[in-house]
Structure 1
Amino acid sequence: MRFISLGLFLASVTTIQGVAVPHTHVLHEKRDAAVLKRWVRREKLDSSAILPMRIGLTQKNLDLGHEFLMDVSHPDSSNYGKHWTSEQVIEAFSPEQKTVDTVTQWLVDFGIDPERITHSDNKGWLAFDATTEEAEGLLHAEYHLYEHTTMGHVAAACDSYHVPKHIQEHVDYITPGIKLLAPEKRGIKKRGFAMTQSKDRHGVGAPLRSNPGKFPVTTPGNLSTCDQSITPDCIRALYQVPLVPEYPGGIPRSDNSMGIYEEGDYYAQEDLDLFFANYTPHIPQGTHPTPAFIDGATAPTDVAHAGGESDLDFELAYPLLYPQTITLYQTDDLFYATNPNSTSTGGFNTFLDALDGSYCTYSAFGETGDDPNLDPVYPDPHGYTGKLQCGVYKPTNVISISYGGQEADVPAYYQKRQCNEFMKLGLQGHSIFYASGDDGVSGPNGDDNDNGCLGPNATIFSPAWPNSCPYVTNVGATKVYPGHTVFEPESAVVDPAGQPYSSAFSSGGGFSNIYHVPDYQRDAVESFFKNHNPPYPHYRGNSSFGKNGGVFNRAGRGYPDVAANGDNIATYNAGNFSSSGGTSASTPIFASIINRINEARLNVNKNPIGFINPALYAHPEILNDITNGTNPGCGTVGFSAAPGWDPVTGLGTPNYPKMLAFFLSLP
């Protein structure tokens, strides 16, 4: 999103597109000419056509959101753990009343009847229907139909629009306006079970990083062959996690279920029961997650159609948590989740809508509510016919998400809006964990370029989304190398194609092209560059993308933040044993451990940890530092694991006793 302020005009009247603009107005938005390469401007919009106008009002305190979050998240803060209520969050960031009144008066003075104007519940935007003639007069713009040259999509838009000088500071953006965005048929990529570039395999449950085999050589209680097959006992030994959590009275809390997100992939109860019977007989047959179905989602499925992602998530989390419970956030109906003809290419908005009703109408960064070009639209004539679900589920204290994509594939405004929501969830005491990706410093093959890298020569590293958001915790992947044991340090995953999975696998990591290094991470990143400087040219900031042959943004937010084992994982899928890998395995492991620690804090009348990154970066000694391995991609060996934080395994893997003692010591 690009804002161009002209300041004071040099002339009393300027002409844009043949539209006379009075000296009282300034240019608020103008489209970058590069966008028009794929669009053709067609006929002028009929003057009587009705346009659904939305004015995104400038939010207050967004620039203070980071400071607010650090105040309740940094262990040195006197307000640590004093999380906000959702009402406090809405009030803190809603527009000033002066903004609402000033913009409303502008509309009324123009001739828009006040009864036509709706103010959203979260106070973030004003809406009204207007004819094209009214919109053009209000904004001193000219509306045309635009057609996408390859996909045929048609949109109503203008090349630029203007607002009064005294209004500009109160308006984020206006739609329909300059935005032209055609959906691409590329779905969310599953970490560890990556999707093809279209949705033809979305949810089918055919994992690319699964290695079918005979019954595992590692049986319950046997730690001698964890280098061949990682079982729940191997994980507990690696991170010193007791078998069963201790609970007052022997009963887990009802307010500390762990959330797991799934989309287009469905677990089978038969697979969970097979896993429990063979590896965790203390977990009763039939144990299953509590459903939190969003916008027509369903689960479970029959064993023949079981998804490798969902089975893996639950088979890793339950052995670490039980008898704590798990809440399944299954998102979107079958049409949007699995249909290759669906044009939904974004991700997580319908999920965030269901957790926070105000998110449905939240305005920021040129986006209000869900994006009709990127997100599912409900009611859906092909599936779920109900309304979009808003604020129907209270978010769990911890949420594990093994899905994601690449920064370059999703508009920056879309990412920033979601990132703000993660900040607000952190303010309310929720911990959000994301898998860091399985392609090292690149994206999946075929994403942007054949090798998944960026730039005209396909040499620039491709950071992941929403991993680069500074308000989520990213989990990279480690493994027990052949011949090593769970009592020795792990290494970063480096699995070339065919050894053993069909596609190469290494822990996703790198530096954002959108977000700067957050203050809680600055010392760790600077230490990495000072002591372990990568042997690659770099650029500083997205404005100098690829300059002087640079292949990564040295000024960007680094990820992952932490790591956990993610290779040779013993799992049952579609009724058969297999060995799987991916950061999608690492994420529920780390998240489950934090959920257990939250239970201990709650039992001594303390609040959940919430946003965990500041505490981890301030006290890396509570983690197991990983110093061996790389994350290849883009024709390089990638970055290298090193003492301290690194963009391969972050700060390291869990050390449960140290983490538990540390977080219990905090207020």
Structure 2
Amino acid sequence: MAATPRFASQPRVTLPGSQKHPLTTDTEVPPPAPVKAAATKLSATPFTVTVIVKRKNPLNLKQVLKPAGRLTHAAFAKAHGPSPDGVKLVKAFAKEFGLTVAPAPGQGRRALYLTGTAAAMQTAFGVTFATKIMEGTKYRVREGDICLPKELIGHVDAVLGLDNRPQAKPHFRHHKPAATSVSYTPVQVGQLYGFPSGAKATGQTIGLIELGGGFRAADITAYFKTLGQTAPKVTAVLVDKAKNTPTTSSSADGEVMLDIEVAAAVAPGANIAVYFAPNTDQGFIDAISQAVHDTVNKPSVISISWGGPESTWTAQSLAALDAACQSAAALGITITVAAGDDGSTDGVKGTVNHVDFPASSPHVLGCGGTKLLGSGTTITSEVVWNELTANEGATGGGVSNVFPLPTWQAKSNVPKPTVAAGGRGVPDVSGNADPSTGYTVRVDGSTFPIGGTSAVAPLWAGLIALCNAQNKTTAGFINPALYAAAAAKSFRDITSGNNGGFKAGPGWDACTGLGSPIGTAIAKTLAPATKSTSKTAVKNAPEIRFRPHKKAPTKTAAKTPALRRLK
């Protein structure tokens, strides 16, 4: 007599936070075009999902967010890698439903890759697939909950990749021709912000997360030649079968090249690792996790210029991505994230304020945008970036409805959230982002200005890489240090302008955060009190979870080249 299948005979239970809302243009970003239903025919072509199991031991964030509590990759994997019981259960579950299993690359990751046909996936995860068309492209969509056998509940944190609709968009803006405008090279912007003159980021690697587009080596060589710099070493790391696929200058190539050129230009000597992944919640989270646990390229800072409104994410995806950022903090890796380019609504229809994720994660440095004007090495004007009337965007910023107010932000007078579970203020810092005062970049053989908070994340990443090299240790999770009273003189306080729902004012605000950087002062603020860091595991404590739902102008001795006037 055949044995009763172990998991098929168990009652099904909803995986907490897995509910996926119907795909509509009102709630999803993208698409801007109508979504059409198409005849649903399950493909026989196998695809892969990512199953994230719980940690072996929870992170004690109170300890690991401190420099002395940082862990090596080996210590992290030993103490906080995947639960053996969870891995064993998922493997047995996969075998029963005809799915193959492979571990995700990277020491310490909690992800397992399960591969099978759509029919097998539907049966295994208790979902139903539909096919929907967005802008001429068919997507596999699942709506509602993921239902797992009861025995897996509590061992599995997330199941990602059943749905392959786009999750995020790049936060860069092309400037629309006007009578006059100004563009800067990234080097000029760094000089205006007082980045350490002559400093090098040798020995550092800056990781860039990209969900589309690509780069051409010839463009990188040509661009840095115009700057009089040696072109950086740029490595493409392919995640979830994504590729480095450059096409045209009007594509996501603009995002990729902006990130590479800004980060490397302000941090000469740094290596660049570009993690390409599909634009899905699975691809986004897998890319960040792979970068965080990459012991080959070893990024000390990771820049993210993609995101979407918190309301467009499932609770399990929010938690899984934030958990990856917590891991980065525990390993001494800084993550900088663009705060969005659609003002206080973050592009969501209606008048309600929204913030962009992952910029709203309390374990990253959220980067807002300003409009910067300068003469020589002196800033003559800097206000909040808001060109909404010209349809050229505005800095994102506001208050999270998902993540509570962090302790280090408690004295910043963050406005109250519209949902009791929220409270985290966005952004933390800012920098030049207005397309009319944008960055001169080269994309697919063409040179033109690009703006957006997409430029601010790699700008700050480059500054942090310089600080890491200078301080001979990684800065790690820097938010508490930046919000400390002693760090106030490290920022230019932006007090003029608004992003729609919020106004700038003295101190922190929901448009530009603490302000734009005074580079040499930031370097001193991030200098460690001691160069020794702990390499031992910390005692376990409950992991932080969430409930779903100024100064003076910069001064440098370096001479800034004449600004290029565009027509």
Is TM more than 0.5 here? yes
* Map 1:278-289 → 2, pairs under 5 A: 278=226, 280-281=227-228, 283-284=229-230, 287-289=231-233
2:345 is aligned with 1:473: no
2:264 is aligned with 1:264: no
* Pair 1:158–1:610, CA change in 2 (3 A): closer
1:239 shift after superposition = 1.6
CA offsets per residue over residues 287-339 of structure 1, 9 Å max, x none?
Answer: 244213314523777889893223333333333222x133131414xxx57xx
2 CA distance for matches of 1:411 and 1:571? Answer: 37
What TM-score results when the alignment is normalised by the length of structure 2? 0.70
1 CA distance for matches of 2:245 and 2:131? Answer: 39
1:478 shift after superposition = 1.1
* Pair 1:427–1:31, CA change in 2 (3 A): closer
Matched residue SS, 2:370: strand
User: 2:101, 2:115 within 8 Å by CA — same for their partners in 1?
Assistant: no
2:514 is aligned with 1:560: no
Matched residue SS, 2:477: coil
Equivalent residue for 1:569, pick from 431, 438, 449: 438
CA offsets per residue over residues 518-551 of structure 1, 9 Å max, x none?
Answer: 2222222xx244xxx8xxxx63336xxxxxxxxx
Q: Which residue of 1 aligns with 2:31?
A: none
2 CA distance for matches of 1:264 and 1:274? Answer: 22
2 CA distance for matches of 1:296 and 1:419? Answer: 22
* Pair 1:404–1:257, CA change in 2 (3 A): same
CA offsets per residue over residues 425-448 of structure 1, 9 Å max, x none?
Answer: 11111111111111111223xxxx
User: 1:299, 1:330 within 8 Å by CA — same for their partners in 2?
Assistant: no
Matched residue SS, 2:337: strand
Q: Which residue of 2 aligns with 1:381?
A: none
2:369 is aligned with 1:506: no
Matched residue SS, 2:401: strand
Q: Which amino acid aligns with 1:470?
A: P
User: 1:290, 1:325 within 8 Å by CA — same for their partners in 2?
Assistant: no
Q: Which residue of 2 aligns with 1:192?
A: 172
2:517 is aligned with 1:654: yes
Q: Which amino acid aligns with 1:518?
A: P
User: 2:184, 2:440 within 8 Å by CA — same for their partners in 1?
Assistant: no
Matched residue SS, 1:426: helix
User: 1:441, 1:508 within 8 Å by CA — same for their partners in 2?
Assistant: yes
2:253 is aligned with 1:307: yes
2 CA distance for matches of 1:89 and 1:563? Answer: 32
Q: Which amino acid aligns with 1:87?
A: A
* Runs (5+) with no aligned partner, structure 2: 1-8, 24-47, 134-138, 531-567
Q: Which amino acid aligns with 2:433?
A: G
User: 1:430, 1:609 within 8 Å by CA — same for their partners in 2?
Assistant: yes
User: 1:31, 1:160 within 8 Å by CA — same for their partners in 2?
Assistant: no
2 CA distance for matches of 1:300 and 1:35? Answer: 32
User: 2:401, 2:418 within 8 Å by CA — same for their partners in 1?
Assistant: no
2:543 is aligned with 1:599: no
User: 1:117, 1:126 within 8 Å by CA — same for their partners in 2?
Assistant: no
Equivalent residue for 1:413, pick from 308, 316, 340: 316
1:649 shift after superposition = 0.6
1:352 shift after superposition = 3.0
1:665 shift after superposition = 5.2
* Pair 1:241–1:96, CA change in 2 (3 A): closer
1:475 shift after superposition = 0.9
CA offsets per residue over residues 41-78 of structure 1, 9 Å max, x none?
Answer: xxxxxxxxxxx99997643543x442233333xxxxxx
* Map 1:435-454 → 2, pairs under 5 A: 435-444=338-347, 452-453=348-349
2 CA distance for matches of 1:330 and 1:168? Answer: 31
2 CA distance for matches of 1:182 and 1:117? Answer: 19
1:272 shift after superposition = 4.6
2 CA distance for matches of 1:158 and 1:239? Answer: 48
2:388 is aligned with 1:521: no
Q: Which residue of 2 aligns with 1:238?
A: 192
1:511 shift after superposition = 1.7
Q: Which amino acid aligns with 1:586?
A: V
What TM-score results when the alignment is normalised by the length of structure 1? 0.60
Larger Cα-atom Rg: 1
Matched residue SS, 1:348: helix
* Map 1:580-591 → 2, pairs under 5 A: 580-591=450-461
Matched residue SS, 2:402: strand
Percent identity between matched residues is 24
Q: Which residue of 2 aligns with 1:29?
A: 14
1:172 shift after superposition = 4.1
1 CA distance for matches of 2:262 and 2:115? Answer: 51
* Runs (5+) with no aligned partner, structure 1: 1-21, 39-51, 73-78, 136-140, 194-206, 217-227, 338-343, 358-390, 445-451, 543-554, 633-637
CA offsets per residue over residues 339-370 of structure 1, 9 Å max, x none?
Answer: xxxxx46542342353366xxxxxxxxxxxxx
1 CA distance for matches of 2:450 and 2:158? Answer: 47
Q: Which residue of 2 aligns with 1:331?
A: 276
Q: Which residue of 1 aligns with 2:76?
A: 89
1:662 shift after superposition = 2.8
* Pair 1:414–1:485, CA change in 2 (3 A): same
2 CA distance for matches of 1:143 and 1:577? Answer: 48
* Map 1:413-432 → 2, pairs under 5 A: 413-432=316-335
Equivalent residue for 2:420, pick from 541, 561, 577: 541
2 CA distance for matches of 1:348 and 1:129? Answer: 18
2:514 is aligned with 1:628: no
User: 1:274, 1:572 within 8 Å by CA — same for their partners in 2?
Assistant: no
* Pair 1:407–1:398, CA change in 2 (3 A): same
1:466 shift after superposition = 1.1
CA offsets per residue over residues 124-149 of structure 1, 9 Å max, x none?
Answer: 5899999xxxx9xxxxx999773548
* Pair 1:484–1:492, CA change in 2 (3 A): farther
Q: Which amino acid aligns with 2:353?
A: F
* Pair 1:146–1:435, CA change in 2 (3 A): closer
Q: Which amino acid aligns with 2:343?
A: G
* Pair 1:149–1:434, CA change in 2 (3 A): closer
CA offsets per residue over residues 614-635 of structure 1, 9 Å max, x none?
Answer: 1111243122221111112xxx
Q: Which amino acid aligns with 2:65?
A: M
1:261 shift after superposition = 3.2
1 CA distance for matches of 2:154 and 2:126? Answer: 26
Q: Which amino acid aligns with 1:559?
A: V
Equivalent residue for 2:298, pick from 395, 402, 424: 395
User: 2:19, 2:144 within 8 Å by CA — same for their partners in 1?
Assistant: no
Q: Which amino acid aligns with 2:62?
A: E
Q: Which amino acid aligns with 2:345?
A: S
User: 2:339, 2:395 within 8 Å by CA — same for their partners in 1?
Assistant: yes
Q: Which amino acid aligns with 1:349?
A: I
Q: Which residue of 2 aligns with 1:644?
A: 507
Q: Which residue of 2 aligns with 1:198?
A: none
Matched residue SS, 2:128: strand
1:600 shift after superposition = 0.6
Q: Which amino acid aligns with 2:409?
A: Q
1:170 shift after superposition = 5.3
Q: Which residue of 1 aligns with 2:384?
A: 492
Equivalent residue for 2:288, pick from 336, 352, 355: 352
Q: Which residue of 1 aligns with 2:30?
A: none
1:401 shift after superposition = 2.0
* Pair 1:319–1:470, CA change in 2 (3 A): same
1 CA distance for matches of 2:418 and 2:332? Answer: 35
User: 1:434, 1:474 within 8 Å by CA — same for their partners in 2?
Assistant: yes
User: 2:369, 2:385 within 8 Å by CA — same for their partners in 1?
Assistant: yes
2 CA distance for matches of 1:142 and 1:656? Answer: 52
* Pair 1:631–1:346, CA change in 2 (3 A): farther
2 CA distance for matches of 1:661 and 1:256? Answer: 18
